[in-house]
């Protein structure tokens, strides 16, 4: 039985402004302010709220309240050993709220990429107030300062850091619109703030500078190459494991369990620059007669042949592909597609994050 009558309240992000120097906020629209105040009140009462970030829509609750964070896991049906990222609205919150010092290695990184789609792993000190439910009982926790003005404003209004995984049912593709959130969580949460489509479209990059050499735990909105270019030890950055073992503790979301998968079967093709060749290869070993099939194409695929019910162009650049990927998977499900053929991309720049998500969504992978 549904617990809530979920409200979706649309606001205008352009009415929210921040001063880059002081981080002071100004909101010119009364409705936008009212919605944010309503959402902040729910968060202060240990409830959960769906809200936009530049990466994907998040499902937020106070990082300092175990009761609040448990509601995230309940709404998403998320495994309890999968840690969460805490979102802040200023660099000062690391010291003032978490009682943790920012390690030197991160200072040039956050200077360049915060606010933005980058999460950093920090040591979980005895003085830190973050809930053990957020950290899954580990000695580290991850923090992000989002760029999205709605997210920043919501954190400022509530005056608490927000633990916020993607606002989808666990295992499903991450949501990049308020409609996606409602499709998965209607009746399970009290409120979704509709701030428009997410601009990045994939979750944040997660890096760990508490180890030597520093490690990329999850590729995302900031590329490996961009991080390495900062120097200060980041030129030595290494890739972490893509998938953790069944009993292995993980420092970041996305390393364990099934992720990002639509109901339809996803077939990923790596290195196939011709769609007809790729599709022919799959059909050699599978009977697709009468199946409803979609194709998600990007840089190289053009002609896809007959018997294709739906063709979605993801875009040509890495930024376009990652912005459109999750929405395309959800559209395929909405159209009741049974099989999705996906054109893979090279694992460089944004392609590393794109292929990370696709490899976890895929039921089968064909490599040329």
CA contacts within 13 A on the Cβ side of 257 = 17
Binding positions for L-threonine are 55, 87, 164, 204
Q: Strand 85-87 to strand 7-10: parallel, antiparallel, or no bridges (unpaired)? A: unpaired
The DSSP bridge partners found for residue 267 are 341, 364
Binding-site entries for ATP: 78, 82, 140, 144, 166, 174, 218, 260
Q: Mark the binding-site residues, compressed into ranges.
A: 55, 78, 82, 87, 140, 144, 164, 166, 174, 204, 218, 260
């Amino acid at each position: 039985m549904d617990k809530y009558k979920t409200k979706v309240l649309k606001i205008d992000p352009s009415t929210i402004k921040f001063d880059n120097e002081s981080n002071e906020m100004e909101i010119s629209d009364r409705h936008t302010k009212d919605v944010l105040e309503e959402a902040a009140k729910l968060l202060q009462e240990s409830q959960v709220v769906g809200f936009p970030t530049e990466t994907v829509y998040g499902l937020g609750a106070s990082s300092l309240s175990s009761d609040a964070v448990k509601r995230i896991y309940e709404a998403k049906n998320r495994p309890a050993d999968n840690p969460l990222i805490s979102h802040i609205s200023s660099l000062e919150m690391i010291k003032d709220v978490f009682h943790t010092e920012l390690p030197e290695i991160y200072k040039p990184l956050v200077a360049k990429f915060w606010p933005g789609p980058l999460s950093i792993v920090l040591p979980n000190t005895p003085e830190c107030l973050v809930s053990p439910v957020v950290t899954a009982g580990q000695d580290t926790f991850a923090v992000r300062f989002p760029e999205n003005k709605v997210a920043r404003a919501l954190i400022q209004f509530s005056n608490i850091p927000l633990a916020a995984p993607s606002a989808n049912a666990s295992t499903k593709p991450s949501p990049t619109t308020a409609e996606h959130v409602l499709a998965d969580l209607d009746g399970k949460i009290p409120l979704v703030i509709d701030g428009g489509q997410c601009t990045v479209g994939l979750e944040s990059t997660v890096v760990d500078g508490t180890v030597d050499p520093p490690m990329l735990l999850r590729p995302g909105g900031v590329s490996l190459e961009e991080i390495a270019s900062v120097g200060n030890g980041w030129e030595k950055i290494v890739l972490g494991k893509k998938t953790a073992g069944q009993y292995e503790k993980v420092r970041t979301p996305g390393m364990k369990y099934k992720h990002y998968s639509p109901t339809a079967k996803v077939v990923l093709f790596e290195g196939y620059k011709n769609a007809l060749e790729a599709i022919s290869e799959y059909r050699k070993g599978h009977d697709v007669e009468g199946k409803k099939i979609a194709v998600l194409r990007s840089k190289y695929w053009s002609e896809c042949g007959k018997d294709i019910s739906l063709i979605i162009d993801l875009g040509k650049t890495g930024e376009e592909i990652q912005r459109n990927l999750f929405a395309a998977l959800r559209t395929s499900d909405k159209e009741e597609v049974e099989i999705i053929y996906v054109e893979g991309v090279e694992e460089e720049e944004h392609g590393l994050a794109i292929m990370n998500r696709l490899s976890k969504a895929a039921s089968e992978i064909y490599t040329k």
